[in-house]
Structure 1
Amino acid sequence: MIKVLKPGFYTSVQDAGRTGYRDMGVPVSGAMDLFSATLANRLLNNDDNAAVLETTMTGPDLEFTEPTHIVVTGAEMQPAVNDAKIPYNRVIKINSGDVLSFGKLQRGFRAYLGIKDGFKTEKVLGSRSLYIPVTQTARIVEGNTLPYQPYEGDIENLIEIKIDNEFLFDTHIEVFPGPEYELLPEADKERIRTATFTVSPQNNRMAYQLKEQLLPNDFGIITSATLPGTVQLTPSGKMIVLMKDCQTTGGYPRILQLTEKSVSVLGQKKVGDTIDIRLRG
């Protein structure tokens, strides 16, 4: 198992998400940057849905009590084993008693720790993703233990494979027109196509708000289905991008829909980072 010595700012167990329960109001949850979580699992020859640790802004200190293999992907947080820096996107062998730590955030916002065969925490409604009130906690805390299956075998050496994840740190966000996109006046459509938008301090796993606003409006719709990546427009003109822990329905117009790839890109953005919207379709 892993002993949590320090939990980091916000570290949680996540997998590909909780599906099949949206009709009961249960969010999908899962990794904010699904690309990086999946990459970690594939490098370890895991199932894509194996549980990983998602770390936000600052990483945890973790002690391993059994041998295994790990991979760190996503944001660059200077990971180290026993104070010796380790590379990103590479399989690292872990021995009993080894301690994984993280340094200063250099790029991105969320890093992912994959472990051979995935973390074996409790499944609730078919997923290990932490989300209150479905699970008892939303994040790990100091003193927690995280179970995993010890592994002493060998994993195929993939060190020569070049992995291109630079798109995660780009500013481009690809979107499709949402169901209510045509309600927008031409001035707002032009602003979406040409303006630069800034991540506001109001951002978390539920939603990202953008600092710059569109025109005030009196649009009204019947409460309708929403998804991670749905961009809602409030009457004041504020744009809210729903993320992995978002509600399943909403009453604000759905003006845009991010691609899954762009949800990963936005999940690597922090307060003050800028994005530009690229409309498709």
Structure 2
Amino acid sequence: MVKVLKTGLYSTIQDLGRYGYQDYGVPYSGVMDIYSASMANILLGNDKHAAVIEMTMTGPALEFSCDTSICISGADMSPKLNGLPIKLNKQIPIKRGDLVSFGKLISGFRAYLAVLGGFKTEKIMNSYSMYSGITKQAILLKNCNLSIDDSLKSLEKKHAAIKMVNTHFDIKNIEVFKGPEFQKLSKEQQSLLFSQDFTISKENNRMAYQLAEPLENSLEPIITSSVLPGTVQLTPSGKLIVLMRDCQTTGGYPRILQLKESAINIMAQKFTGHVIHFDLIIG
């Protein structure tokens, strides 16, 4: 078991998502940054679908009641084991009674803690991903206990660590494809989309990121149609909304762009005030 002593700002259990239920209006959910979460699982030898803790801006404090191994990847939130700093992207042996905590955010926005064998919390519709209305818990709660497979032995201690690609956290370029309604934009609107920078507004969460700079819009709403994580919608008021992992499954705003999968991962590490630039993928 792992006991949550402190929750952090917004911590949840996530895996790669809940697929096959979108016809019923169930969001995909899953980790916001698949690249970082996968790195943590790979370094532990876990299945890529193993559930992890996703942490946003600040991390929790966790007490382990068994021997195991962990790996932390993604944002640097100054992780510590029993008060001493530990490295990211490295196998960390854990002993019964150990305390893992986090401090100052150094880089990125979301971090991932994987445990040997994955977290074994409530599984609904073939996924452990927490989502309000689907799972009993939408976020980690103080003093809750998270099940893990305590029969798995701690991995042999290794000193090697993998260095993450820095551009994943630093780059502002977001690669996109043309969306279904892109051609309805004027040539001027199309040009503006790719010539100016956009700023992440304070309205950003697992459902969607709103951009601060408006794009003048005279398009009519569309018939409610399918949307996906990474869909960029244009509202009647000119707001650009980038849908993220917990987004709805349908929408009535024009879908003018679609983020490349790797671009969703990059976007997930941005927060209020960060600047992005759309790069159109040709062909």
TM-score (normalised: structure 2): 0.96
Q: Which residue of 2 aligns with 1:219?
A: 220
Q: Which residue of 2 aligns with 1:233?
A: 234
Q: Which residue of 1 aligns with 2:281?
A: 280
Letter in 2 for 1:90: K
Are the equivalent residues in 1 in contact too, given 2:92–2:157 (CA < 8 A)? no
Q: Which residue of 2 aligns with 1:39?
A: 39
Three-state SS of the structure 1 residue aligned to 2:194 is: helix
- CA distance 1:182–1:32, change in 2 (3 Å): same
Moved more, 60-69 or 143-152: 143-152
Q: Which residue of 2 aligns with 1:202?
A: 203
TM-score (normalised: structure 1): 0.97
CA shift for structure 1 position 219: 2.1
- CA distance 1:156–1:141, change in 2 (3 Å): same
Q: Which residue of 1 aligns with 2:267?
A: 266
Q: Which residue of 2 aligns with 1:255?
A: 256
Are the equivalent residues in 2 in contact too, given 1:77–1:102 (CA < 8 A)? yes
CA distance, structure 1, for counterparts of residue 238 and residue 170 of structure 2: 27
Give a deviation string over 1:207-259, Cα, whole Å, max 9, x none: 00000011121323111100000000001111000000000000000000001
Letter in 2 for 1:273: H
Aligned residues: 281
Moved more, 15-24 or 131-140: 131-140
Letter in 1 for 2:224: T
- CA distance 1:146–1:133, change in 2 (3 Å): same
- CA distance 1:18–1:105, change in 2 (3 Å): same
Are the equivalent residues in 1 in contact too, given 2:232–2:257 (CA < 8 A)? yes
Identical-pair percentage: 50
CA shift for structure 1 position 28: 0.3
- CA distance 1:136–1:79, change in 2 (3 Å): same
CA shift for structure 1 position 160: 5.5
Are the equivalent residues in 1 in contact too, given 2:217–2:234 (CA < 8 A)? no
CA shift for structure 1 position 136: 1.6
Are the equivalent residues in 2 in contact too, given 1:212–1:238 (CA < 8 A)? yes
Three-state SS of the structure 1 residue aligned to 2:198 is: strand
Are the equivalent residues in 2 in contact too, given 1:177–1:255 (CA < 8 A)? yes
**Segments of 4+ moved more than 6 angstroms:** none
Letter in 2 for 1:93: P
Q: Which residue of 2 aligns with 1:30?
A: 30
CA shift for structure 1 position 266: 0.6
CA distance, structure 2, for counterparts of residue 98 and residue 160 of structure 1: 21
Q: Which residue of 1 aligns with 2:138?
A: 138
Three-state SS of the structure 2 residue aligned to 1:191 is: helix
